[in-house]
């Protein structure tokens, strides 16, 4: 089940995000851990934070960035962006990441966005496979770097009603 985060879940999602990013990046994350924990801060800037639940536990989350702003990394004016997608390692392989990304696709299409973009790092191979499976295309001309110099690879997905409906079904935003 994917839905908007509730205040009592902020800390749970934050700790999950830090744990997953530490495992994938094999680093201490320095100050980025505080960004990952700050669901309230993302919400305050107009982002939407979504969570996936299983048996009353938060098993995944993602931040939907509706356009340019403090949490946008790669987005243009007529695009939306996905940030901080995480799935609990014990729950991976069950379609949770797909459901979270699909919820963002539906939101972007409903908002009339031209495309949905995201940044991922070269070591995030499983995430890249998910994005490609959902129709995202690598956009190396839009690549960037995160603070500290690590590469941030750009992927984008064109959004229009026909392709979105065939990709994710004709559901309304969850």
d(CA 127, CA 120): 8
**166 pLDDT above the threshold of 60:** no
Q: What mean pLDDT do residues 92-121 have?
A: 96
State whether residue 94 is helix, strand or coil.
coil
**168 pLDDT above the threshold of 80:** no
> Which residues does residue 120 pair with via DSSP β-bridges, in sequence order?
153
Provide the pLDDT for residue 28: 63
d(CA 38, CA 103): 21
Provide the pLDDT for residue 161: 54
| DSSP category for residue 26 | T
The whole-model pTM stands at 0.89
**139 pLDDT above the threshold of 50:** yes
Top CATH class, 2-168: alpha beta
């Amino acid at each position: 089940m994917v839905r908007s985060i509730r205040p009592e879940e902020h800390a749970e999602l934050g700790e999950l995000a830090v744990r997953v990013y530490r495992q994938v990046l094999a680093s201490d994350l320095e100050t980025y851990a505080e960004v990952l924990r700050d669901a309230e801060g993302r919400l305050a800037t107009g982002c939407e934070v979504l969570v996936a639940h299983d048996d009353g536990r938060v098993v995944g989350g993602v931040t939907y960035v509706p356009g340019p702003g403090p949490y946008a990394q790669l987005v243009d004016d007529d695009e939306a962006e996905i940030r901080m997608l995480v799935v609990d390692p014990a729950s991976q392989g069950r379609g949770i990441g797909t459901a979270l990304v699909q919820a963002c696709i539906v939101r972007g299409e409903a908002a009339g966005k031209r495309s949905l973009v995201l940044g991922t790092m070269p070591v995030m191979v499983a995430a890249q496979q998910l994005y490609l499976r959902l129709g995202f295309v690598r956009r190396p001309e839009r690549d960037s770097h995160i603070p500290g110099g690590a590469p941030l690879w750009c992927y984008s997905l064109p959004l229009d009603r026909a392709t979105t409906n065939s990709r994710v079904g004709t559901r309304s935003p969850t």
